[in-house]
Structure 1
Amino acid sequence: MTVAATRGGSGGWADLPGDTALSIRVPEANHLVSAGFPAHVTVLYPFVNESRLSASAHADLAEVFAGHAPFTLTFTEFRRYPGVLYLPPDPEAPVRALTASLTDRWPEAVPYRGIFTPPLAPHLTLANHEGPHTYEAAYDALESRLAPHLPLVSQVNEVHLIVTDGAGGWRDLRTYRLGEGAPQRRPKDACDGHDSSDSRGAGGAGGAGRAGHVRYGLPPTAHRPQPKGTAPWL
Structure 2
Amino acid sequence: MPATRPATEPTADWGDRVGDTSLSVRVPAADPLVTTGFPAHVSVLHPFVPRASLGPASRAALAALVAAHPPFTLRLTRFGHFPGVLYLAPDPHPVLDRLTTALRRAWPDAVPYRGLFGPGGLPPHLTLATHAAPGTDRAVYGPLEAEYGTALPLHAEVSRLSLTVYTAAGEWREESALPLGGEGARG
Q: Answer yes or no: same fold by TM over 0.5.
A: yes
Q: Structure 1 stretches of 5 or more lacking a match?
A: 182-234
For 2:96, the equivalent position in structure 1 comes to 95
**What aligned pairs does 1:30-41 form with structure 2 within 5 A after superposition?**
30-41=31-42
**What aligned pairs does 1:99-110 form with structure 2 within 5 A after superposition?**
99-110=100-111
Whether the aligned pair in 2 keeps the contact of 1:46 and 1:109 (CA below 8 Å) is: yes
Secondary structure of 2:91's match? coil
Whether the aligned pair in 1 keeps the contact of 2:81 and 2:137 (CA below 8 Å) is: no
For 1:71, the equivalent position in structure 2 comes to 72
2:25 matches 1:24: yes
Task: Report the count of equivalent residues.
Answer: 175
Structure 2: distance between partners of 1:167 and 1:81: 28
Shift of 1:35: 1.2
Whether the aligned pair in 2 keeps the contact of 1:78 and 1:86 (CA below 8 Å) is: yes
Higher mean displacement: 154-163 or 125-134? 125-134
2:46 matches 1:45: yes
Q: Structure 2 stretches of 5 or more lacking a match?
A: 1-7
For 1:132, the equivalent position in structure 2 comes to 134
Shift of 1:167: 5.8
Higher normalized strand content (fraction of residues)? 2
Shift of 1:47: 0.9
Deviations 1:8-37 (A, max 9, x none): xxx322222101100000001001111111
For 2:171, the equivalent position in structure 1 comes to 169
Are residues 76 and 165 of structure 1, via their aligned partners in 2, closer, same or farther at CA, if it must alter by over 3 Å? Answer: same
**2:76 partner letter:** F
**What aligned pairs does 1:1-234 form with structure 2 within 5 A after superposition?**
6-7=10-11, 11-117=12-118, 119-165=121-167, 168-179=170-181
Whether the aligned pair in 1 keeps the contact of 2:76 and 2:89 (CA below 8 Å) is: yes
Structure 2: distance between partners of 1:21 and 1:28: 20
Secondary structure of 1:21's match? strand
Shift of 1:56: 0.9
Max radius of gyration: which structure? 1
Structure 2: distance between partners of 1:18 and 1:54: 13
Higher mean displacement: 171-180 or 78-87? 171-180
Secondary structure of 2:110's match? coil
Whether the aligned pair in 2 keeps the contact of 1:15 and 1:166 (CA below 8 Å) is: no
Structure 2: distance between partners of 1:106 and 1:5: 16
Shift of 1:115: 0.6
Structure 1: distance between partners of 2:169 and 2:111: 22
Shift of 1:134: 3.7
Higher mean displacement: 53-62 or 125-134? 125-134
Runs of 4+ in 1 over 3 A off after TM superposition: none
Are residues 136 and 168 of structure 1, via their aligned partners in 2, closer, same or farther at CA, if it must alter by over 3 Å? Answer: farther
Shift of 1:166: 5.4
- TM-score (normalised: structure 1): 0.71
Whether the aligned pair in 2 keeps the contact of 1:19 and 1:166 (CA below 8 Å) is: no
Deviations 1:64-84 (A, max 9, x none): 011100000111111100000
